Amino acid sequence: MIELRHITAGYGGEAVLRDFSVRFSPGKITGILGRNGCGKSTLLKTAAGLLRPMSGEVLVDGRPLGDYAPKELARQIAVLPQSREVPAITVESLVMHGRFPYLGFPRKPRPEDRQAVQRAMEQAGVEALRQKALSALSGGERQKVYLAMVLAQDTPVILMDEPTTYLDINHQFELLRLIRGLGGQGRTVLCVMHDLGQALEVCDEICLVERGTLLAHDTAAAVFDSHAIDRVFGVTSEAVTDSAGQRHYLFREA
């Protein structure tokens, strides 16, 4: 569980989030939605401990974020950022980076670390790529490898910043399926997302941010039915059900 209490945070003394309070529960996938510049990424960075708030506090499992040593915090929270460098290493080596919070000096992997890496690669569907150079992979393959690294980190909280950006539609579906399975494992998952339809279909809850404040935080269905998304984005929405009984969401200009 992760909770933000009366958070004001920003950059260079300029507040982006203002008196922001929200609580995210285990076993739930929460989509963070809002217009560009509203504070979505700032929310994620603050929750991860990457940005120190001007005021307020972040609690992880009931403890203030500042009480955790760096390695201890890395065993609680894993982060999948939007943009990353591509190091000159193999897939397996990158996924092993997820085990660093559990390793002592000189970072020699134990059998349980190798098993965790194997499980993560299998779960993310990248086991066949284990000896390939990261630079030789497609964007979709690389994103799945980074997700495998996050899975190998084996944390109760996972934060993702636009995980489907730049992926073709097949890789988007595959990655969303993997993300959907994380909630069933009892993890707290936060995803900043731009695709409103995907967020409503995949996420259990929606956290809607407007101009640095929390506008709505409820189940995806409740937030959709409230028309709060329509008001924030200036759109008209409609829910339709396909022949398989799956609900989809359509948006058009208001």
DSSP string, 99-131: GGGG--TT-PPPHHHHHHHHHHHHHHT-GGGTT
What was the pLDDT predicted at 78?
97
Angle value at C-alpha 170, between 36 and 163, nearest 5 degrees? 35
What was the pLDDT predicted at 81?
87
What was the pLDDT predicted at 87?
86
What was the pLDDT predicted at 185?
87
Q: pLDDT class for 71, splitting at 50, 70, 90?
A: very high
Token representation of residue 6: 């009366």
Cβ atoms < 10 Å from Cβ of 133: 14
What was the pLDDT predicted at 244?
86
The answer to whether 201 and 249 have CB atoms below 8 angstroms apart is yes
| Residue 107: pLDDT over 80 | no
pLDDT digits 0-9 by tens, 185-212: 899 999 999 999 999 999 999 999 999 9
Q: What is the pTM of this model?
A: 0.93
What was the pLDDT predicted at 85?
80
Kind plus residue range of the DSSP H or E element containing 215 = strand 213-219
Mean pLDDT of 28-48: 96
**Considering the chain, what percentage of its residues have pLDDT values greater than 70?**
100
Q: In the CATH scheme, what is the code of domain 25-51+63-76+156-254?
A: 3.40.50.300
pLDDT digits 0-9 by tens, 149-179: 999 999 999 999 999 887 888 888 888 998 9
What was the pLDDT predicted at 161?
94
pLDDT digits 0-9 by tens, 13-31: 999 999 999 999 999 999 9
What was the pLDDT predicted at 86?
83
Mean pLDDT across the chain: 93
What was the pLDDT predicted at 245?
85
Which has more pLDDT, 245 or 234?
234
What was the pLDDT predicted at 28?
95
Question: Would you list the domain boundaries of the chain?
Answer: 25-51+63-76+156-254, 85-154
Cα separation, 16 vs 8, in Å, equals 7
